[in-house]
Structure 1
């Protein structure tokens, strides 16, 4: 190599000795460093925008979820993504999932997702708003104000150094509304109505936000159901109209939003059948929109129950239990997993099965609840679910499954008495009023069912046996103690233990007391009536005055809900059954059968398709000599129970007394035969 060639290579020249222009080399260097800088800036941006970034090409919030969270995100209804102030897509994903869960009342899991979002972006203000709202269950009449206030305090700490000013107007409007809902030093009415007004303003201003509309509608429904009971009838009518108009408008623009559909079903879950019929479409749509939600599957049964459509009640609640089972199996959860939704649906499923005479299927559902309650040592709501299902199965099966055990198959000896569920501690404040209704309500009805299993259809000798007498007396004494305890709240308010702001709870407690007193009266009447049938004439004049008192209480109770958890032994049905049972020993059988017929008619007006009331109507018509009417009722019952247990006594009776099937039409002769016959 020549010296000139070597010199050219060292200096960057060409092999032929020519020199590369210096300007070209400079441009190349600048271009390389420029590309490197662009790539570096892009990576910095990606790191700041995405935590643990996936594929940027199709990055969406759901890309930052995993496992069953993805199933839920895609299975709880489509959402309109309105991005709150955050640059973390993983935080946004958990916030949005929490929002979906919140709109479907999956409160415990929603709280978890909101807290996860906060941990990923401590300045994601809307995640704190969502968690705070999860501590208020307006349609369940429960709230935890202290917990919600603690969440808002955490938000304020995280939003220090004027970060709040960087939030959007929509976010600040949400925050102001939620602060009003959990404000200190103001009444329940003021908190609920102020929040409702502010949230309706948010929905009006941000009409592209279906969640704002859903929360606004829920706030109106919450006023209608408030434990405070502060609305006059005219005010309640106006609030209901506003809720219907708001839900109608928003659902028109967002037809598949699960929250809007959910609250529409609640809006139309009313006694008026014309209004209730409006709930069928949103109920079905809700189930389709949110297949992963147990509550979304369950809700349409609220409407179907209003019409006595038991096959749909069973189907929707079977789907609800299956949705919870699927989720809990995927996350390896135990019996506490999605408990409020799963076991609530199982209770409704069993109730629907009894109304279709499916005692075997109902017993299987009950036995599952036995296992669940045992796994939780029969505590809390698990004991309540078990006791209510025990009472339903015992009373609705008409003793056809004998004395079903409360805890196990062996737990059905004559002396068996349901273990105490309700603590008789005095009511300390208005906040625990619910805990002084549902546990005693469940226990009182279980005790009533136990008495029923020992005396209904039994001989006087059996009723008067030492073991039966002792068990019945003990059960009645416990019911008496439960009822007596319900007077505590009124007394506490009178002596100043409760504050004036709690006064609104006193009427509610009075209604609870009336429900429990009804059970007390029915238990006494039950024993007297069957003793009368057995031959103890001294009891024949005792039971009807007791049932008249129970009926008066029943008629004065404001709610005529169809909820299975409340309608365990509705007074018209219970009264009618005792009237029919005592017809053979009545001084005026016609009057008694006629009164029974009236009781069952009332029952069916309030609880359409109620199996025992259809059976009772048939029996009353038969006792009155109205054969055609009796046959019609028996036929309706047989049709309703066509998939039930063939050996269930009520179904056997119905089939035996139903209208005979019409004979098949005469077979027409074939064309050729007809031609021959016509020419013969």
Structure 2
């Protein structure tokens, strides 16, 4: 028996069967190798993808943009450069943290909070996402904070495991935030200690642009603090300037540094303000997708009466918000603080260009926005201030402007109450105490003005007109009395300390001017009840109060009816010399203010100062060259200037050319 057969007998299988089995075994091994190869390939692929997803440093080709889509990607590319790489192994979380920080740099706080929350969802252990959200509840230059909400977020951080994964630098950021929002501590202590910690953080990390910028912002925050405690304001301002200039020099694409530096120069002193134009232009160029970045330049243009650029920069700002809000299909609440603030400024610039029709179009958009939000919150304030601007500056070319809708411009219509003196009497937020009464008082002033401007005795004596004016003046008295009570009420002392020092004075000035314009209109209409001494005394008091707060901001949201302009317009016919000085005073503070330019032209003409009158008329026509050709101020200025010589006829010109050539040839 062959040996092979013997082996087969021993094994219990014939040799032919063994050969087949051997072949199958080899095939199975080959299949196994293939399976293991495929498995290995997938394993390597997943390892690579995990490296991309969890650790960007191990896969250099991956970028933040790989994890942002749609408008998030557009925003990220349009807000400057991000330098902060937080401790996380998830690049999607890093991407949304960086986007949140870029948004925080341009004060787009509500959207920044959303992005920080998204980052936290993607990586619950990303400590800096908690920090970023908390910091958005402190809006230092807006005099606003929500310390309770910030402490809640920091409490969530404590309950997570996130702090175990942070660097020493990140822990110092978190510690500084805890100081800023510490409970049972005064605003002054919190803010000054926070500043000290941010200074130490920057000095220990000189390559960290965010530490540098936020330290500079903390200095500005002390100047604008809700506590109003800063006594060394010049020192703080100089230190903030030096710090932020260092930031912009070393990190020229860090938007926050440029943004905060513009606020250093956002002051009334034109020599200082002139230094803000360059940083504001750099900011706008670096962050084309930010409303605030586009708007900030107008803070400087308005101080120099450059109305073309005031309008353009705010149109750019509104367009930036519209672009984002339209892309994400959100309504009027989207980027509201920035968008409608810029729209108000746009309207103001248009009125200074005599572009009443464009301003009215802008106003009608504001009206629709406020109506869609039921005139609540800031929407009513934006609308009331815009109404006052347009009504007072339109010189009656638009008639009585409708406030809430097309039917409420009847002479019997009174602006509905905006300031609830009861519900928010004891609110600590400055927004509740300053802006609602300020906006409503000036809307009431504008309505009184519209009912008295250039009205004759029969129009002024109409019962409906008199009743509306009386009600408006009574409402203004109520607003001022409520504010007086707030200051005298010891229980509201904490709230009173948070108010702008000129707030009550502003309201009293509006009240005095409303009563004065009514009194002056009675005298202008030659009614028996005329009392020139009465209304002049009111305006003298208003002017004295205005002079005492002359250092206040020149921004349009505040300067709706500046007293020198208002008084000058009432005096220009009866005391032209005094009116001329008032208009000069107005322009020294508010260069290019249209009504004051017109007032100086009028006064100069009446005083027979023809050269001066022509100069002011030419300035008005120049700044109003893009405005309405039939605007009353434009027509008035043009009527005083000599008519330009007609161009020579073509035939006469040809004859002179031929004559000159003949003379030349004869010579």
Return the TM-score normalized by structure 1: 0.89
In 2, Cα distance between equivalents of 1:436 and 1:281 = 35
What corresponds to 1:17 in structure 2? Answer: none
In 1, Cα distance between equivalents of 2:177 and 2:269 = 34
Deviates more, 1:145-154 or 1:538-547: 538-547
In 1, Cα distance between equivalents of 2:658 and 2:190 = 82
Would you say the 8 A contact 2:55–2:91 is kept in 1?
Answer: no
Deviations 1:234-289 (A, max 9, x none): x1111111111111111012212211111121111112222111111111121111
Structure 2 residue matching 1:487: 3-state secondary structure: helix
**Are 2:50 and 1:58 equivalent residues in the alignment?**
no
Would you say the 8 A contact 2:486–2:492 is kept in 1?
Answer: no
Deviations 1:103-148 (A, max 9, x none): 1111111111111111111111111111111001111101111010
**Are 2:208 and 1:217 equivalent residues in the alignment?**
no
Structure 1, unmatched stretches of 5+, are 14-19, 587-591
Structure 2 residue matching 1:211: 3-state secondary structure: helix
What corresponds to 1:300 in structure 2? Answer: 297
In 2, Cα distance between equivalents of 1:603 and 1:673 = 53
Deviations 1:590-648 (A, max 9, x none): xx111111111111011110000000011111121111111110111011101110110
**Are 2:666 and 1:679 equivalent residues in the alignment?**
yes
Deviates more, 1:270-279 or 1:136-145: 270-279
Would you say the 8 A contact 1:421–1:443 is kept in 2?
Answer: yes
What corresponds to 1:151 in structure 2? Answer: 153
**Are 2:620 and 1:637 equivalent residues in the alignment?**
yes
What corresponds to 2:538 in structure 1? Answer: 546
Deviations 1:512-566 (A, max 9, x none): 1100000000000000111111113632111111011111111112643121111
What corresponds to 1:525 in structure 2? Answer: 516
Deviates more, 1:571-580 or 1:279-288: 279-288
What corresponds to 1:422 in structure 2? Answer: 419
**Are 2:506 and 1:515 equivalent residues in the alignment?**
yes
In 2, Cα distance between equivalents of 1:623 and 1:371 = 43
What corresponds to 1:560 in structure 2? Answer: 552
Structure 2 residue matching 1:59: 3-state secondary structure: coil
1:363 aligns with one of 353, 360, 365: 360
Would you say the 8 A contact 2:352–2:594 is kept in 1?
Answer: yes
**Are 2:72 and 1:69 equivalent residues in the alignment?**
yes
What corresponds to 2:569 in structure 1? Answer: 577
Structure 2 residue matching 1:58: 3-state secondary structure: coil
1:131 aligns with one of 123, 133, 143: 133
1:598 aligns with one of 581, 588, 593: 581
What corresponds to 1:16 in structure 2? Answer: none
Deviates more, 1:260-269 or 1:659-668: 659-668
1:43 aligns with one of 46, 67, 70: 46
Would you say the 8 A contact 1:110–1:131 is kept in 2?
Answer: yes
Deviations 1:49-93 (A, max 9, x none): 62899x97732222112221111111111222x321111111111
1:118 aligns with one of 114, 120, 133: 120
What's the offset of the Cα at 1:433?
3.3
Would you say the 8 A contact 2:267–2:273 is kept in 1?
Answer: yes
Would you say the 8 A contact 1:529–1:578 is kept in 2?
Answer: yes
After TM superposition, list the pairs within 5 Å mapping 1:30-429 onto structure 2: 40=43, 43-44=46-47, 46-47=49-50, 50=53, 58-80=61-83, 82-159=84-161, 164-232=163-231, 235-425=232-422, 429=426
In 2, Cα distance between equivalents of 1:402 and 1:629 = 31
What's the offset of the Cα at 1:33?
6.1
**Are 2:609 and 1:609 equivalent residues in the alignment?**
no
What's the offset of the Cα at 1:653?
0.6
In 2, Cα distance between equivalents of 1:165 and 1:326 = 40
What's the offset of the Cα at 1:431?
1.9
Would you say the 8 A contact 1:49–1:87 is kept in 2?
Answer: no
In 2, Cα distance between equivalents of 1:176 and 1:660 = 72
What's the offset of the Cα at 1:429?
4.1
Deviates more, 1:416-425 or 1:145-154: 416-425
Deviations 1:10-57 (A, max 9, x none): 6689xxxxxx9xxxx99x99999699558526625734762899x977
What's the offset of the Cα at 1:209?
2.0
Deviations 1:292-314 (A, max 9, x none): 11111111111111100000000
Structure 1 pair 558–673 and aligned structure 2 pair: CA distance change class (3 A): closer
Structure 2, unmatched stretches of 5+, are 6-14
Return the TM-score normalized by structure 2: 0.91
Structure 1 pair 253–9 and aligned structure 2 pair: CA distance change class (3 A): farther
In 2, Cα distance between equivalents of 1:322 and 1:96 = 24
What's the offset of the Cα at 1:490?
2.1
Would you say the 8 A contact 1:384–1:443 is kept in 2?
Answer: yes
In 1, Cα distance between equivalents of 2:198 and 2:550 = 30
Structure 1 pair 667–199 and aligned structure 2 pair: CA distance change class (3 A): farther
Structure 1 pair 457–197 and aligned structure 2 pair: CA distance change class (3 A): same
What's the offset of the Cα at 1:503?
6.6
* Residues matched between the structures, number: 647
In 1, Cα distance between equivalents of 2:124 and 2:550 = 46
**Are 2:608 and 1:625 equivalent residues in the alignment?**
yes
Structure 2 residue matching 1:482: 3-state secondary structure: helix
